[in-house]
Structure 1
Amino acid sequence: MDTRTTIRPLGGDVYEIDTRMAGYTGVTAGYLILSDRPCLVEPGTAGSAPVVQAALTELGVGAADLATVVVTHIHLDHAGGVGDIAGMYPGAEVVVHEKGARHLAAPERLMRSARMVYGDRLDTLFGELKPTDAARIRAVDDTGVIDLGGGRRLESYHSPGHAKHHVGLMDSATGDLYVGDAAGIYIPETADVRPATPPPDFDLDTALGSLRRFGSLQPQRLLFAHYGPVDEVTDTLDRSAEELRVWVDAVRDARDQDLELDHAVAMVRDRTDERYAITREGADPELAAKYEVLNGAESNVAGIMHALNRHA
């Protein structure tokens, strides 16, 4: 396969790696912290593993050098490559929230659920999550600490709402906060912030609580898995919260009208598309199509509808 790498140094011995989900560029990012104990955050999909390996090799990290692999949550665009990467780097410990740990050790149930959602597209988009030896997995709960060496730490903070097994990760040396999907999707080409509310775990109040927790950590920078670094921390977290409220209000109105999912999606699109440069008239259709694969309106609406029905 094509393993050309796109690596961007971000300062503080942090390197952004384009993990190229399904061949798309600029959609899924992993991060290498090249500390005394090198740490890979977000390995991406199973299909991304050869790209990530090539990037680590380019950065001087060999098979025996990687100390830790950390995932913010076990959705396949973030953690689908864990089993492959664990095989390539046999000394690396895998860190994940306790509610996701068993799925990395025994991924059959997770893969069955994913195939029900994606069908044949699963193989193209994500590939197969391979099991990781349970002895190599370290589960964290509300908080946890990953030793990066030299007194540097990566501290994990449970941040559910997008997923019950989601954690944010704070670098003690740089003040970088790896936000996974808990703060939504950042689109660097347009500076849009869009929500990520897929079923089955989305919950508005829990998600807003996680954003408040992120703010209380006073990070210097947000590092999005989708996609890249953002310096405007407070404004971006505020925008993330606002977008969640807007989408939930729109879906609630659709639900109150007893609309089927496709009609609800159309109504929500009509209400929200003008909020984002990526979906306004005259926007780049290829860019919009790329992010629709990752963060489709149908998935967001379905997740919010599921949450509203659960609460009802």
Structure 2
Amino acid sequence: MSTENTITPLGGDVYEIDTRMAGHSGITAGYLILSDRPCLVEPGTSGSAPTVQRALTELGVGPADLATVVVTHIHLDHAGGVGDIARMYPQAEIVVHEKGARHLASPERLMRSARMVYGDLLDTLFGEMKPTDAARIRAVEETGVIDLGGGRQLRSHYSPGHAKHHVGLLDSLTGDLYVGDAAGVYIPETADVRPATPPPDFDLDTALASLDKFRALGAQRLLFAHYGPVDAVAETLERSAEELRIWVDAVRDAHGQGMDVDHAVAAVQERIAGRYKAYGPDADPELARKYEVLNGVASNVAGIMHSLDRLA
């Protein structure tokens, strides 16, 4: 496969890499910071590892050159390829939040849980996460610092709510904030923002507090794993919070009426009808299908229902 359409320069020695998750373009992005100590943020799925490797080779990063691989969290669309990339780049340190570190070293439990959710679709969407040598994993806590060389740093900021092992990452040189899934899913074709609230970790108050933390960081640009760069930082973070509240209110109403997940999904779809251009009557149906794979209503509703049950 050619790398011609997988690499987009973003300035500041940052390159967006389309990881071509499950063969889709524009669904999951990794980012290479081509600093003195090259750093890969979000390697993507196991199935994406060869695509990412080709892109790094095209950008001049060989097997001994990659200094660091950082994941915002350990969900398979972000971190499923860590073990593969670690083997391809044996000098790279792997950085992850402490709550996710053991799953990178021993991914069996994570894979069992994922297979229960996705069934046979798991292999098509993600592939199998390979274990990473525990000696190469550095766990960060509330904050952490990744040395990019030349005085440049990537600082991690613990940002749970979407997942209990989630961090945001701020580049000291560019002001880029890698938001993972904490600010939801950005659809560049339509500038829509949708929440990402899968089970089992979603919690509204925690997620909103993480968005407040992101606002306080004073980022110049948001870099979404799904998908791409966004310059309108304050407006986008506010929209992210607004969408979370709307979805949770809709599910809470359904939950209060004793609805099961299927009926709650229908109620939410009715409540959000017309909010997103990507899902409107004039939208490209393939675009809607692509994002439903990544960010399905049923998964989001199930995560919110789970959080309401936990509160109750």
Q: Which residue of 1 aligns with 2:197?
A: 197
Note the alpha carbon deviations across 1:108-145, whole angstroms, 9 max, x for none.
Answer: 00000000000000000000000000000000000000
Q: Which residue of 2 aligns with 1:290?
A: 290
Q: Which segment is superposed worse, 272-281 or 182-191?
A: 272-281
Report the secondary structure of 2:273's partner residue. helix
Q: Which residue of 2 aligns with 1:230?
A: 230
CA deviation after TM superposition for structure 1 residue 251, in Å:
0.2
Q: Which residue of 1 aligns with 2:142?
A: 142
Q: Which residue of 1 aligns with 2:116?
A: 116
Q: Which residue of 1 aligns with 2:73?
A: 73
Return the alpha-carbon distance in structure 1 between the equivalents of residues 141 and 301 of structure 2.
Answer: 29
Q: Which residue of 1 aligns with 2:47?
A: 47
Normalising by the residue count of structure 1, what TM-score does the alignment of the two structures yield?
0.99
Q: Which runs of 5+ in 1 are unaligned?
A: none
Q: Which residue of 2 aligns with 1:27?
A: 27
Kept in 1, the 8 Å contact 2:97–2:165? The answer is: yes
Q: Which residue of 2 aligns with 1:311?
A: 311
Return the alpha-carbon distance in structure 1 between the equivalents of residues 267 and 68 of structure 2.
Answer: 44
Note the alpha carbon deviations across 1:73-98, whole angstroms, 9 max, x for none.
Answer: 00000000000000000000000000
CA deviation after TM superposition for structure 1 residue 260, in Å:
1.5
Report the secondary structure of 2:182's partner residue. coil
Q: Which residue of 2 aligns with 1:156?
A: 156
Report the secondary structure of 2:251's partner residue. helix
Normalising by the residue count of structure 2, what TM-score does the alignment of the two structures yield?
0.99
Q: Which residue of 2 aligns with 1:206?
A: 206
Return the alpha-carbon distance in structure 1 between the equivalents of residues 24 and 2 of structure 2.
Answer: 13
Alignment size in residue pairs: 311
Return the alpha-carbon distance in structure 2 between the equivalents of residues 155 and 236 of structure 1.
Answer: 21
Kept in 1, the 8 Å contact 2:3–2:58? The answer is: no
CA deviation after TM superposition for structure 1 residue 273, in Å:
2.5
CA deviation after TM superposition for structure 1 residue 4, in Å:
4.0
What CA RMSD, in Å, does the superposition of the two structures yield over aligned residues? Answer: 0.7
1:93 matched to 2:97? no
Percent identical pairs in the alignment equals 80
Which runs of at least 4 in structure 1 moved beyond 6 Å after TM superposition? none
Report the secondary structure of 2:274's partner residue. helix
Kept in 2, the 8 Å contact 1:3–1:50? The answer is: no
1:255 matched to 2:255? yes
CA deviation after TM superposition for structure 1 residue 3, in Å:
5.7
Return the alpha-carbon distance in structure 2 between the equivalents of residues 155 and 149 of structure 1.
Answer: 13
CA deviation after TM superposition for structure 1 residue 281, in Å:
1.5
Q: Which runs of 5+ in 2 are unaligned?
A: none
Q: Which residue of 2 aligns with 1:271?
A: 271
Return the alpha-carbon distance in structure 1 between the equivalents of residues 156 and 2 of structure 2.
Answer: 30
